[in-house]
Amino acid sequence: MCGIAGMVVSAGQQPPSESLGRRMIEVIRHRGPDDDGLHRDERAMLGMRRLSIIDVAGGHQPLYAADGQVCLVFNGEIYNFRDLRLELEREGHTFRTQGDGEVILHCYLRHGADAFARLDGMFAIAIWDRRTDELLLARDRFGEKPLYYTNNPRRLLFGSELKSLLQSTDCPRDVAPDALRAFLTYGYVPSPGSIFAGVSKLPPGHWLRCRDGRIDIHRYWRPSLEKKTSLSEDEATEELAGLLDSAVSSRLVSDVPFGAFLSGGLDSSTVVALMARHLSQPVKTFTIGFKEEAFSELDDARQVARHLGTEHHELVVEPDAVSLLHELAWHFDEPFADSSAVPTFLVSQLARRHVKMVLTGDGGDELFGGYDRYLRLLTLDQLGLLGRPAAAALRVAGALLPDPLGGRLGRIGERLQLPREERYLSGVALMRADTARALHPDAGGARHYHLPCLDEADADLGAGRSSLDRAVAIDLQSYLPDDILVKLDRMAMANSLEGRSPFLHPQLAQFALSLPESFRLRHGRGKFLLRRVAERWLPQRPLSKPKQGFAIPLAQWFRGPLREMAHDTFTSRAFRERGLCDPRAACALLVEHTSGRADRREALWQVICLELWAQRFLDATPQGA
């Protein structure tokens, strides 16, 4: 686990600067405080910061082929590296280390770019091949590890974090209008773009080749939801149990202490239960809570911890929201407004006092239909069968009835008039179109709910006609990699902690996506088959508790510790002159919220996160946290 950064220049250009390379890796020291390395020649520079997890003594990077003509750095873990190594050794390859990085290198030497599809893991890989003067970049299937790049005819820059690229004067710094509009909808910037025009994220499941300033990008994997299993319910239950066990077992490979995040919900509890089956000592588990009981899952986590006999660590926190916001803005690189980043950062901070790696339950909701919005979408589909008159009637009723009922009915009527994908995405969005339009004149228009993945040539997203599968396909290509996994990566790495997600094991994930709708949604709840499997290991509470999410007392914060900060920010000269949001509209949201007339917590959080990001990344070149 580490962070990577580097560049390649076109023929005839000045060689890469060592001082630039040092700055690019030093600014991401938090990703890898244990070691660093830098390769530089007349055309390329590849650097890394290392967090030692596997082959602590021998895992230094960069790694080189025996003839010195191929150089590799990578961020992540390859879980099937031992199987791949045995296969390569049978074919005559000789290894000098015990780590997974050298396996990637030899796999590339044997298979070329086809090697990436053979890897089970989370990774961002950079390979400089002097034999062909090509740089190859690759990213894992689901986007667990980040990888930014920007290129022009003279050079290509890449890095695990955007702040590495910003160390170069060649990195563009103009805010991308489409990215800003998307952030004001979803609270994150969707791939493949970034907040800066001209800087991109390599999409999950893709690899890139750069040669003399020209790039081409290839997709080596995509989720497939059309082909469904023919297994019976009992057969599917046993198959899922075996795949879950294998996925967790494969992610326990580590040469350093490790544990797990435990919220007391179904996904994290299932992961911990399976860890306990494979370990001879108690699993170290970690959870945090807030003093406001409505936002605390401590009791639920304690019940699971007692049942499974874990070594449980918990902490009730009263964070300094203002200073924490500044720290989060630094680590996210781009505007990011998923407020559950706060507890994710705090539980990572707690875990890092005891371990260097944790397993998490991320991905379970997307794969097994766990989000309540999936159920709401199916209800909307049923109402949609009544046609436009039903939508019009709901909008009229919404206008006539008082809030909150009137507002809810009106919004249902609005959503029924949207195309199918946008109907779903309106339930994912954090900000309504009218609010976004008030904050920025170019936001909240006809493309308010647009996502880049909807523009792909494969219009059905590999999901067929099922509304549930189409929604899941969108989440796998946007919400999961650009929100959920960004949050885990940045908040864990901010604390030099590795996070692993067993649910994203390729075979397990593909099987989950092959489950028919009735195996995922049943009796008005999601994760039906997962619950059936997990009941053999878990107590009743995590099987039956409503989905809570990693929530924070945001509404109270904006009426308390964040109120003055928000007011001072929205009325400042810098905020007005920056022009990212209209100050009057922002102040109006704050007044509505603090007076109790409306709940504007999400929109206020988005505006605050946007401005704090701008202060850090637009006002000056980032030099360190």
Report, as residue numbers or ranges, the catalytic residues. Answer: 2
- Two tokens at 599? 């709940």
Compute the distance between CA of residue 354 and CA of residue 431 in angstroms, rounded to an integer. Answer: 38
**Phi, psi at 124, each rounded to 5°:** -130, 120
At residue 252, the 3 state secondary structure works out as coil
At residue 215, the 3 state secondary structure works out as strand
At residue 76, the 3 state secondary structure works out as strand
Residues counted in the chain: 625
Nearest alpha-carbon partner for 483 in 52, 271, 278, 187: 187
Alpha helices, DSSP H, located in 160-231:
162-165, 177-186
- Whether the Cβ atoms of residue 167 and residue 160 lie closer than 8 Å to each other: no
Compute the distance between CA of residue 130 and CA of residue 115 in angstroms, rounded to an integer. Answer: 18
Nearest alpha-carbon partner for 366 in 256, 176, 526, 565: 526
Compute the distance between CA of residue 462 and CA of residue 367 in angstroms, rounded to an integer. Answer: 15
How many Cα atoms sit within 13 Å of 133 on the Cβ side? Answer: 11
At residue 210, the 3 state secondary structure works out as strand
Q: How many CB atoms lie within 10 A of CB 9?
A: 18
506-513 and 233-250 helices, crossing angle to 10°:
160
Does an H or E element contain 325, and which?
helix 321-332
Strands, E, within 311-390: which ranges? 311-317, 357-359
At residue 409, the 3 state secondary structure works out as helix
Distance from chain centroid for Cα 408:
30
